[in-house]
Structure 1
Amino acid sequence: MALRPPGEDFTPQRPHSNPEAPSPIRPSISSTSSTPSKPSRNTPASCPSTPVKCSKATSPSSPSTPKTGQEQCAGITKAGKRCARMVKAKAPLSAFDSDEGESSSSIPRFCFQHKKELMGPTGYYARKNGEWVEFEDWIPAYLQEETQVSLRVEMEKTRTQSDVKGYIYTFEIREPGDAEIIKLKVGRTVNLVKRIDQWGKQCGSKEQVLRGFYPGTVEPDEDGNEGSLMKGRVKAGDKGPWCHRLERLVHLELADLACTTVYLQSAWPHIESPPPADKISATSKDSNLTAPCLDCGSMHKEIFEFKRWTKGKYRGKEWEQLVKPVIERWGKFVELYV
């Protein structure tokens, strides 16, 4: 370039180029005077020239990256694909799940749109006998909407082949120093007497008292008296149908009651709407969360903590007036329609 005579044109030759077939003119990308055109709505933007990976475009049916405490909506869109919305797991069901069997599957969560759709129908036709089942006959109106949706889904589900006949039992975990809380373990078993013995050996550091079981029929003793609930004296009657489904339904409702403590309101059970979420205290939101068991180290998520009634006609009757009716109501539903 320095030896080029003044005024002489200089055109550099590209090695091995074909002069008879000139290459097409390529627009410069270094010009600062040009304004980059805005990509059309239907045309994806180009990947940047910097060495980073270009992420794939998210389709409507692809879920966004889940954050802690979020799950993908279990609803189905009109296109027949799973809803891509992510749903925050809220109390009361965020702290609830069972330990094994059918109940070990996570609770399906739904976005606002699918919750509205699921809350629309007044009932459904039972798979067992084709009878019409009214949701309001079985689901109390004072439960949280998320709980009501989960109960509707559970009611309508097909019975799994792994479900069996059995019992729903309730132990009270006695805490002599705590007069404000009652802890009740609600579980299922196919052999009630054996389970009572197992539970005492597995977690025996605290006194545990059998409060009852479903079905509640017990064989009378030699004198014709109703059977005993004391260990070593229990003689259970016939098993109830489909204890997996029954336990699931019972757990869903008890988790809600333990969380919201709606039963402490003076008008309960004649309450026509759930308490607002902002009225649920932080303490009651975590009321059915338990620490790892000191005996076995596991989390007994089937243990529910309830604030006691301290006055009125229900005082001291948390098992009889709160938990037992829930078990019996869902036991009747399973018997009729599952």
Structure 2
Amino acid sequence: MPVPDGQSQSLTMQHALGTPLRFGLMPPGPQTPPSRPVSTSALPPPASLSSSTSSRPAVKVAPIRRRAASEPPSPSTPSKNGTVQCSGVTKAGKQCTRQIKSAPALSASHPDAQIERFCHQHSKELLRVAGFYSHKVADAYVKFEDWIPDYLQPDTQVALRVEMEKPRSQADVPGYIYTFEIRDPKTPKKVHLKVGRAVNLVKRIDQWGKQCGSKEQVLRGWWPGAVEDDDGDAAANGSLMKGRVKAGEKGPLCHRLERLVHLELADLAVNAPYLDPDFLKPKKKDAGDSGTSTPSKKPPGSPASKKLLDKPCPDCGAVHKEIFSLTRAERGPYKGKEWDLLVKPVIDKWGGFVSAYV
């Protein structure tokens, strides 16, 4: 998603006018592949401090390890009864003392994921905020409604807003977001997709093939995606077969991108809003709220109330994270197109956001 300079319109409005997709999800029918967003440029180095002329004894200072943007510093530590303290700030400038039990879908499917949670009052306040100014692009106002679908649950919408507004972390690095489909004949009504990040894509593909091989694993794609090689052989360069993958250029801030993608995919996997016949239809906004709307009702058969419990892998014994099990659509435009029309557009959308505004 390139960011043009010197335009009279805001960048958010240019995104909304120039993108034929709603929230990145592709409607049925022929589609035109979206162009790969432009990677962010490197931040300028900090100004050097002038040296002091006075003689002082040298003091050794231990280096501070910065966390990646996708890993907030212990925002919520669950208690014995499963409640956590609200991450909101009161008018007195102190952390809210309310204990809450509700959590975004990512916490239900991945209990170890550290996600900031908010009480009803602070969630309502956050959902009333219309947008924010980009930390990267001067005077670029980003509207939440242009990026966050209204069919997601309110706690997921809050978590996405908080993650979007954070400035970039110096510990975050360029990389790739890849997706494997794990084919399991024992669960024909589910499509299992592992969506993770890698700095060395080819090496990560090889590791997965050797580590866990009891089930067939099919590489579906990666972001930013393949680019043409020097001899122009686009067909060979777009291969998804092991041993023929050419990763191409890395995308920026893969930690932040992975967290945004996981938050939305977890909601799709747990609540399955795409099974609703009214999926993608605009919802009415709540009276008095800015940029918020009531999410669609859970369709029959939706696993909304059932937590997706992590189980040890039969091959390596580890509990694999980043695996999302989506209920297969039995009819409609999404039947057999869960990757193409649901998962891939989510990755492309948040890749464009990170490239343009973070």
Q: TM-score, normalised by structure 1?
A: 0.74
**Are the equivalent residues in 1 in contact too, given 2:194–2:322 (CA < 8 A)?**
yes
What's the CA shift string for 1:192-232, capped at 9, x where partnerless? 00000011111111110000000013334856233200011
Residue 343 of structure 2: aligned partner: 323
- 2-structure distance, mates of 1:96, 1:87: 18
Cα gap change, 1:218 to 1:98, in 2 (>3 Å): farther
Residue 304 of structure 1: aligned partner: 324
Of the candidates 105, 108, 119, which is equivalent to residue 116 of structure 2? 108
The amino acid of 1:188's aligned partner reads: R
Secondary structure in 2 aligned to 1:171? strand
The amino acid of 1:162's aligned partner reads: A
- 1-structure distance, mates of 2:156, 2:257: 15
**Are the equivalent residues in 2 in contact too, given 1:166–1:242 (CA < 8 A)?**
yes
**Are the equivalent residues in 2 in contact too, given 1:66–1:86 (CA < 8 A)?**
no
**Are the equivalent residues in 1 in contact too, given 2:110–2:310 (CA < 8 A)?**
no
Q: How many residues align?
A: 269
- 1-structure distance, mates of 2:316, 2:109: 19
Cα gap change, 1:129 to 1:222, in 2 (>3 Å): closer
- 2-structure distance, mates of 1:315, 1:174: 16
**Are the equivalent residues in 1 in contact too, given 2:135–2:357 (CA < 8 A)?**
yes
Residue 145 of structure 1: aligned partner: 154
**Are the equivalent residues in 2 in contact too, given 1:143–1:253 (CA < 8 A)?**
yes
Q: Does 1:128 align with 2:136?
A: yes
Cα gap change, 1:96 to 1:283, in 2 (>3 Å): closer
Residue 32 of structure 2: aligned partner: none
Of the candidates 229, 241, 249, which is equivalent to residue 260 of structure 2? 249
Cα gap change, 1:280 to 1:336, in 2 (>3 Å): farther
- 1-structure distance, mates of 2:300, 2:82: 19
**Are the equivalent residues in 2 in contact too, given 1:219–1:236 (CA < 8 A)?**
no
Q: Does 1:207 align with 2:228?
A: no
Cα gap change, 1:249 to 1:327, in 2 (>3 Å): same
Residue 50 of structure 1: aligned partner: none
RMSD: 2.3
Secondary structure in 2 aligned to 1:119? helix
Larger mean Cα displacement after TM superposition, 245-254 or 175-184 = 175-184
- 2-structure distance, mates of 1:288, 1:220: 41
- 2-structure distance, mates of 1:153, 1:220: 38
**Are the equivalent residues in 2 in contact too, given 1:98–1:301 (CA < 8 A)?**
no
Structure 1 stretches of 5 or more lacking a match?
A: 1-62
- 2-structure distance, mates of 1:147, 1:222: 45
Structure 2 stretches of 5 or more lacking a match?
A: 1-75, 284-293
- 2-structure distance, mates of 1:73, 1:287: 22
- 2-structure distance, mates of 1:301, 1:323: 17
Cα gap change, 1:178 to 1:282, in 2 (>3 Å): closer
Residue 294 of structure 1: aligned partner: 314
Of the candidates 258, 270, 274, which is equivalent to residue 295 of structure 2? 274
What's the CA shift string for 1:119-169, capped at 9, x where partnerless? 111100111113100000000000000000000000001211110000000
Cα gap change, 1:248 to 1:108, in 2 (>3 Å): same
**Are the equivalent residues in 1 in contact too, given 2:271–2:303 (CA < 8 A)?**
no
**Are the equivalent residues in 2 in contact too, given 1:288–1:303 (CA < 8 A)?**
no
Cα gap change, 1:223 to 1:276, in 2 (>3 Å): closer
- 2-structure distance, mates of 1:231, 1:282: 35
- 1-structure distance, mates of 2:300, 2:155: 14
Residue 182 of structure 2: aligned partner: 173
Of the candidates 313, 327, 334, which is equivalent to residue 333 of structure 2? 313
Cα gap change, 1:303 to 1:234, in 2 (>3 Å): same
**Are the equivalent residues in 2 in contact too, given 1:147–1:253 (CA < 8 A)?**
yes
Cα gap change, 1:287 to 1:217, in 2 (>3 Å): farther
**Are the equivalent residues in 1 in contact too, given 2:85–2:96 (CA < 8 A)?**
yes
Structure 1 residue 96, shift from structure 2 partner: 4.2
Of the candidates 137, 147, 154, which is equivalent to residue 163 of structure 2? 154
Residue 207 of structure 2: aligned partner: 198
Secondary structure in 1 aligned to 2:129? coil
Q: TM-score, normalised by structure 2?
A: 0.70
- 2-structure distance, mates of 1:312, 1:280: 15
Larger mean Cα displacement after TM superposition, 158-167 or 147-156 = 158-167
**Are the equivalent residues in 1 in contact too, given 2:226–2:246 (CA < 8 A)?**
no
Structure 1 residue 298, shift from structure 2 partner: 2.0
Larger radius of gyration: 1
